[in-house]
């Protein structure tokens, strides 16, 4: 016999919405095949002259546009393309040269501290391991991944806001945070596309699969997209 109703309202458990399911391997291969056909040799849009200036440029690019960073670093890299030259400039001059970039005071301080560490611990060379790169002032996992990929040819997946958005919208590697997406991309993307994958995703997110107004009408993978953000049938 059921107990009498006490008058208390019983809480109804609500199911959490199911996490998006990643695409199958064939669909992911098709997406990257189209990206490769459209841009066989995609390039990053930060200007640099060597591994050191690439590292500095990526450090400066946090919460800033590549266009804005390139304007600031043109003169900076003309004056200093090695850790020794950058250190000789000093924090005040570096800060003055990059003052148009967001968080420029902190970034200038990190650039100088980074140079000191490169000289003292790495013989002025940019280290080639993620662990060593992340030990440098101002360098996080994303920056390390970019440098490893561009400067040293490693297959890494640097997840910025564009990569995060595209990986989730296209269900290539759905994830709630950047590390989940990065690890998902490592598993999902065939090795033949790995070298350029993060560039394809960044460029697609920057110019087509934009946050507020995605240009779905010109998207080369629109027929494969089932995102709620899709703007065409």
Span 127-165, pLDDT tens digits:
999 999 999 999 999 999 999 999 999 999 999 999 999
- Eight-class DSSP state of 157: -
**CA atoms of 134 and 7, how far apart (whole Å):** 59
Res 16: pLDDT? 56
Give me the pLDDT at residue 6, please. 46
Q: How far apart are CA 144 and CA 67, in angstroms?
A: 21
Please tell me which residue in 66, 92, 160, 230 is annotated as part of the active site. 160
Q: Is 160 a catalytic residue?
A: yes
pLDDT of residue 1: 43
Per residue in 25-83, pLDDT (tens digit) is 999 999 999 999 999 999 999 999 999 999 999 999 998 999 999 999 999 999 999 99
- Which residue's entry shows tokens 């107004």? 213
Among the listed residues 142, 226, 229, 230, the single catalytic one is 142
More confident residue, 167 or 8: 167
Annotation says 92 is catalytic: no
Q: What percent of the chain has pLDDT over 70?
A: 91
User: Which phi and psi (to 5°) does residue 42 adopt?
Assistant: -70, 145
**What secondary structure letter does DSSP report for 212?**
S
């Amino acid at each position: 016999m059921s107990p009498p109703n006490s008058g208390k309202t019983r809480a109804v458990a609500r199911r959490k919405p199911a996490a998006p399911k990643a695409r199958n391997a064939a669909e992911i291969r098709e997406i990257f095949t189209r990206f490769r056909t459209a841009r066989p040799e995609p390039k990053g849009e930060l200007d640099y002259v060597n591994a050191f200036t690439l590292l500095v440029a990526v450090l400066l690019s946090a919460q800033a546009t590549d266009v804005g960073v390139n304007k600031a670093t043109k003169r900076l890299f003309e004056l200093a393309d090695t850790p020794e030259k950058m250190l000789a400039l000093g924090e005040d001059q570096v800060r003055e040269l990059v003052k148009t970039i967001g968080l420029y005071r902190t970034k200038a301080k990190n650039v100088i501290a980074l140079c000191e560490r490169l000289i003292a611990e790495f013989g002025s060379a940019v280290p080639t391991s993620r662990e060593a790169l992340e030990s440098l002032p101002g360098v996080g996992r994303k920056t390390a991944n970019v440098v490893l990929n561009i400067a040293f040819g490693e297959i890494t997946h640097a997840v910025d806001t564009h990569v995060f958005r595209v990986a989730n919208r296209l269900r290539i590697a759905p994830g709630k945070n950047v590390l989940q997406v990065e690890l998902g991309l490592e598993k999902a993307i065939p090795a033949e596309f790995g070298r350029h994958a993060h560039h394809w995703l960044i460029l697609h997110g920057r110019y087509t699969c934009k946050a507020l107004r995605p240009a779905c009408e010109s998207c080369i993978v629109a027929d494969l997209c089932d995102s709620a953000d899709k703007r065409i049938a």
